[in-house]
Amino acid sequence: MRILYTLLALLFTFAANAQQNPQYSQYIFNSMAINPAYTGTKGVLNINAFHRSQWTGIDGAPTTQALSVDGLTSHERLGLGLNFTRDKIGAYSTTSAYANAAARISVSARGTLSLGIAAGVVQSVLDGSELGVPDDPSIPAGRDVFYRPDVKLGIYFNTPRFYAGLSASDLIQYKDVFQIEPIRHYYFTTGYVFEVSNFVKLKPSILVKEDFNAPANVDLNGFVLLGDRLWLGSSYRTSMNLFNKNEVADPVNKRTALALIAELQVTNALRLGYSYDRMLNDLSGFQSHEISVGYYFFKKQDTKMLTPQYF
């Protein structure tokens, strides 16, 4: 029963605070979901799919599935893409679909600046029949469904070794039928690739997710690339008071976690990724797993391109 009450508390906290943005660990290898300006940066048409099971062992724990596709147009100055995500926790779920566009501008011999926008629609569903709480007037007997529009904006700069991006999501403020108003989220990412030898490269990076209403979520990441084929690394996720002094009193909601991540470039076109997350709070007994698959659709003239995708 303690687990059930914890899950119900998390469900309504999730809904009341409009945490529609799902948790990712492998965004490090494809950041289009958090920054539309990333669209088309890989230079070729590519498709990515992933599944995340969070806190396995708890009935109704969060699960997330996502599918994205993006690429450059023929003149290589415009990136276009589509991104679909489904996030579910208990009886509450969100499904989103976005169309992305990014304009790429060369600002130096090796640097490119991208400006991106994503426009889409988000479906929110609360299925009261899954809660098993009869005769409660505050909980719908069946499915309550609501649709709302959303817009994301982003800016992204990269060279062959360095990148930095800033983006914002949930820019359209609109209360749904559950009186939930999405909280705007802001993301800052940056990273660099150091060449230790011809075989070994190091990639530290950071992600800051801020809404200015609660402590920021900060990811500190470190990876090693072996033979331009195998990424091995970890991510430490925690909360920090960067722009406010609000503390998270409930230890369950503190998002401190450690993720172990691996990605293998099986061929020049196919990559596989896996992450194992362990919470460092009261949910430490439950693990999270995430798998991803990516595929590059090379043109004939691109088949000689052996440059690895560092980010």
- What pLDDT score does 83 carry? 95
- What pLDDT score does 260 carry? 96
Give the whole-angstrom CA distance, residue 236 versus residue 222: 9
- What pLDDT score does 252 carry? 46
Beta-ladder partners of 189: 165, 207
- What pLDDT score does 17 carry? 46
- Looking at mean pLDDT, say which of 169-183, 207-221, 293-307 comes out highest: 207-221
Determine whether 233 is exposed, middle or buried from the number of CB atoms within 10 Å of its CB (0-12, 13-18, 19+): buried
Cα–Cα–Cα angle for 170, 295, 42, rounded to 5 degrees: 60
The third-level CATH classification (topology) of the domain covering 20-297 is Porin (2.40.160)
- What pLDDT score does 310 carry? 80
Assign residue 76 a region (left: φ > 0; alpha: ψ between -120 and 50; beta: otherwise): left
| Helix, strand, coil % over all residues of the chain, rounded to 5 | 10, 50, 40
- What pLDDT score does 132 carry? 64
87-93: average pLDDT: 87
Question: What does the domain layout of the chain look like in residue ranges?
Answer: 20-297
- What pLDDT score does 5 carry? 43
Each residue of 231-265: pLDDT tens digit? 999 999 988 877 766 665 444 445 688 999 999 99
Each residue of 119-162: pLDDT tens digit? 999 998 887 776 666 665 566 667 788 888 999 999 999 999 99
- What pLDDT score does 135 carry? 62
In 3D space, the residue among 78, 47, 69, 28 whose CA is nearest the CA of residue 203 turns out to be: 28
User: Any idea what DSSP says for residue 97?
Assistant: E
Q: Which of 14-18, 99-103, 269-273 is predicted with the least confidence, judged by mean pLDDT?
A: 14-18
**Strand intervals (E) in 172-269:** 185-192, 194-195, 200-210, 216-226, 230-240, 257-265
